[in-house]
């Protein structure tokens, strides 16, 4: 009896020693896998041959790990048979979570900027002139047609006066010529005088009438030149920039091509992003989007894509996409924003944390907990995955919801292994 007990103890010790050796080997394999994955992640610039070699080595290590997992399972079975009391020592401590049915969404996240069609610089209707007065300042709200700048109009006013004087002189001369014509015409009706006198008088009247009309047009033109000295707002909005002072020459833009007065409208805001051309089949007009502007501290603005570019930029290999934004005092043109384009959604889906999905040479799988009597064992579930977003991976098949999935400790368990759940 004593010899049998001694033999069992020795057998258990030998198995434990073998188990420890195998465990150390597994640890070394896992360390090698980790180093390999790190090197793969940092080797984006390696040549294709180097990447292929690393992938081949990775597959070899995975096969070794699977072989060691099988050996470990065999050893643990022998331990349980040789020493039932040692079974508790091979149980793995894991954490679990209940899979819940939920809606799964996938977004394409891109950085863009806020813009508006209601933004433009103020320009005079003529060639410009020296600034005589400025009636606005930055930050002031203005309405369309509001007077913003008064230019020097001294020469234009002189032109009006000169044109008016010429008009007055021509009016007097025309009245005189009209009187002479009427007298010659009356005398000719009485057979007094010569017909040529009537004809010449009529020609003088017509010539002076034409000159008067031209002079009156000159008055209107001169008055228009005076009006051009008044610079008005072309749209309603807020004055964003005033880069001109009294006495400076105003043309609308400064020598360095900056607007001298810039007005930004408070409506028709939009976000513009450059979408890489590999998304050309996934982004279309009418798609739902969320726009996040971190500086505002507000929840994401919801909108839809209002415009999709018809061509691909040859330099950036992208196309312009726009979505309208609501009027908000915290939204400014040229502000950076994030557009999230909803390109996939699934109702009542099963989704798991992306890190719990593992792969072997054939399939992707996760570990779940199954209860057998008063024991809990790990079960390997082969799954088909869909999209991945925001730390979650959609499960297309293999899980139905309600399962207890292992969220911690899943790297070192195997199918059928006894586990205990940590609190």
220-279 residue pLDDT tens:
888 888 888 899 988 888 888 899 999 999 988 888 788 889 988 767 889 999 999 999
Q: How far is Cα 382 from Cα 377, in angstroms, rounded to an integer?
A: 16
Q: Quick one: average pLDDT of 197-218?
A: 91
Under a CB-based contact definition with an 8 Å cutoff, are residues 367 and 410 in contact? Answer: yes
Under a CB-based contact definition with an 8 Å cutoff, are residues 409 and 81 in contact? Answer: no
Percent of the chain predicted with pLDDT > 70: 83
Q: Quick one: average pLDDT of 321-342?
A: 91
pLDDT in tens, 118-140: 777 888 888 889 999 999 999 89
| Non-local CB neighbours of 146 within 8 Å, separated by 6+ positions | 232, 233
Q: How far is Cα 241 from Cα 84, in angstroms, rounded to an integer?
A: 84
Q: What is the pLDDT of residue 222?
A: 86
Higher pLDDT, 52 or 263: 263
| pLDDT tier, 175 (very low <50, low <70, confident <90, very high otherwise) | very high
| Non-local CB neighbours of 213 within 8 Å, separated by 6+ positions | none
Helix (H) or strand (E) holding 388: strand 375-389
Q: What is the pLDDT of residue 88?
A: 46
Helix (H) or strand (E) holding 39: helix 2-41
Residue 159 has pLDDT above 80, yes or no: yes
Q: How many CB atoms lie within 10 A of CB 418?
A: 17
Least confident of 49-53, 118-122, 125-129, 150-154: 49-53
Mean pLDDT of the chain: 83
Q: Which two tokens stand for residue 32?
A: 């090698």
**CA angle in degrees (0–180, nearest 5) for 394-399-403:** 110
Q: Which of 140, 207, 155, 138 is nearest to 178 (CA)?
A: 207
Under a CB-based contact definition with an 8 Å cutoff, are residues 166 and 215 in contact? Answer: yes
pTM confidence score = 0.58
Sheet containing strand 230-232, edge to edge, reads 230-232, 147-151, 129-134, 249-250
Q: Quick one: average pLDDT of 142-169?
A: 90
For 306, 311, 342, the CA distances from 271, given in Å and listed in that order, are: 10, 18, 15
Higher pLDDT, 275 or 41: 275
Q: Which DSSP letter does residue 88 get?
A: G
Q: Which two tokens stand for residue 331?
A: 């939204």
Q: What is the pLDDT of residue 375?
A: 87
Q: Which two tokens stand for residue 283?
A: 């982004």
Per-residue 3-state assignment (H helix, E strand, C coil) for 133-172: EECCCCCCEECCCCEEEEECCHHHHHHHHHHHHHHHHHHH
Domains of the chain, by residue range, sit at 1-90, 107-117+265-345, 126-149+230-259, 154-227
Q: Which DSSP letter does residue 251 get?
A: S
Least confident of 18-27, 169-178, 295-304: 18-27
| pLDDT tier, 314 (very low <50, low <70, confident <90, very high otherwise) | very high
Q: What is the pLDDT of residue 346?
A: 93
**Matching fold, domains 107-117+265-345 and 154-227:** no
Under a CB-based contact definition with an 8 Å cutoff, are residues 222 and 160 in contact? Answer: yes
Look at domain 107-117+265-345 and name its CATH class. mainly beta
Q: How far is Cα 337 from Cα 360, in angstroms, rounded to an integer?
A: 40
Q: What is the pLDDT of residue 37?
A: 43
User: Which of the given ranges, 15-29, 67-81, 252-266, 404-418, has the highest pLDDT on average?
Assistant: 404-418
Residues paired with 100 in a beta bridge: none
Under a CB-based contact definition with an 8 Å cutoff, are residues 313 and 335 in contact? Answer: no
| pLDDT tier, 306 (very low <50, low <70, confident <90, very high otherwise) | very high
Give the phi and the psi of residue 82 in degrees, each rounded to 5.
Answer: -75, -35
Q: How many CA atoms lie within 13 A of 22 on its CB side?
A: 20
Helix, strand counts (H, E) of the chain: 4, 21
Q: Quick one: average pLDDT of 297-322?
A: 94
| Non-local CB neighbours of 423 within 8 Å, separated by 6+ positions | none
Q: Which residue has the tokens 């570019």?
A: 309
CATH of domain 154-227: 1.10.287
Residue 31 CB burial class (10 angstroms; 0-12, 13-18, ≥19) = exposed
Under a CB-based contact definition with an 8 Å cutoff, are residues 287 and 280 in contact? Answer: no
Q: Which DSSP letter does residue 62 get?
A: H
301-308 and 404-408 strand pairing: unpaired
Q: What are the helix (H) ranges across 47-86?
A: 48-82
Least confident of 79-88, 202-211, 397-406: 79-88
Least confident of 95-109, 116-130, 279-293: 116-130
Q: How far is Cα 207 from Cα 368, in angstroms, rounded to an integer?
A: 107
Q: Quick one: average pLDDT of 36-53?
A: 54
Residue 412 has pLDDT above 50, yes or no: yes
pLDDT in tens, 387-408: 999 999 999 999 999 999 999 9
């Amino acid at each position: 009896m004593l010899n049998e007990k001694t033999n069992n103890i020795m057998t258990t010790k030998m198995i434990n020693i073998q188990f420890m050796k195998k465990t150390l080997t597994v640890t070394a394999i896992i360390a090698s896998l980790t180093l390999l994955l790190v090197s793969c992640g940092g080797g984006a610039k390696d040549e294709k041959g180097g990447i292929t070699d690393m992938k081949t080595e990775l597959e070899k290590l995975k096969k070794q790990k699977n072989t060691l997992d099988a050996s470990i399972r065999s050893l643990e079975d022998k331990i349980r048979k040789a020493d039932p009391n040692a079974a508790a020592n091979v149980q793995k401590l894991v954490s679990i979570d209940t899979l819940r049915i939920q809606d799964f969404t996938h977004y394409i996240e891109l950085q863009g900027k806020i813009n508006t069609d209601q933004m433009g610089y103020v320009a005079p209707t003529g060639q410009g002139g020296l600034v005589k007065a400025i009636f606005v300042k930055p930050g002031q709200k203005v309405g369309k047609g509001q007077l913003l700048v008064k230019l020097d109009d001294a020469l234009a006013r002189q032109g009006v006066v000169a044109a008016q004087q010429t008009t007055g002189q021509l009016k007097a001369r025309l009245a005189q010529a009209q009187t002479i014509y009427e007298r010659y015409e009356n005398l000719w009706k009485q057979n007094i005088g010569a017909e040529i006198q009537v004809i010449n008088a009529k020609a003088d009247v017509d010539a002076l009438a034409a000159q008067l009309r031209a002079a009156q047009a000159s008055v209107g033109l001169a008055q228009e030149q005076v009006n051009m000295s008044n610079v008005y707002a072309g749209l309603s909005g807020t004055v964003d920039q005033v880069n001109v002072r009294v006495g400076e020459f105003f043309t609308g833009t400064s020598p360095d091509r900056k607007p001298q007065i810039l007005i930004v409208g408070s409506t028709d805001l939009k976000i513009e992003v450059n979408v890489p051309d590999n998304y050309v089949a996934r982004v279309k007009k009418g798609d739902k989007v969320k726009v996040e502007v971190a500086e505002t501290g507000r929840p994401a603005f919801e909108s839809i894509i209002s415009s999709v570019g018809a061509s691909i930029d040859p330099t950036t290999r992208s196309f312009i996409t726009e979505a309208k934004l609501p009027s908000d005092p915290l939204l400014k043109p040229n502000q950076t924003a994030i557009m999230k384009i909803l390109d996939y959604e699934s109702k009542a889906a099963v989704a798991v944390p992306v890190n719990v999905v593992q792969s072997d040479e054939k399939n992707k799988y996760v570990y779940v907990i199954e209860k057998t009597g008063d024991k809990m064992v790990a079960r390997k579930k082969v799954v088909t995955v869909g999209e991945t977003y925001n730390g979650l991976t959609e499960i297309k098949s293999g899980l139905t919801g309600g399962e207890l999935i292992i969220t911690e400790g899943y790297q070192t368990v195997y199918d059928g292994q006894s586990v205990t759940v940590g609190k």
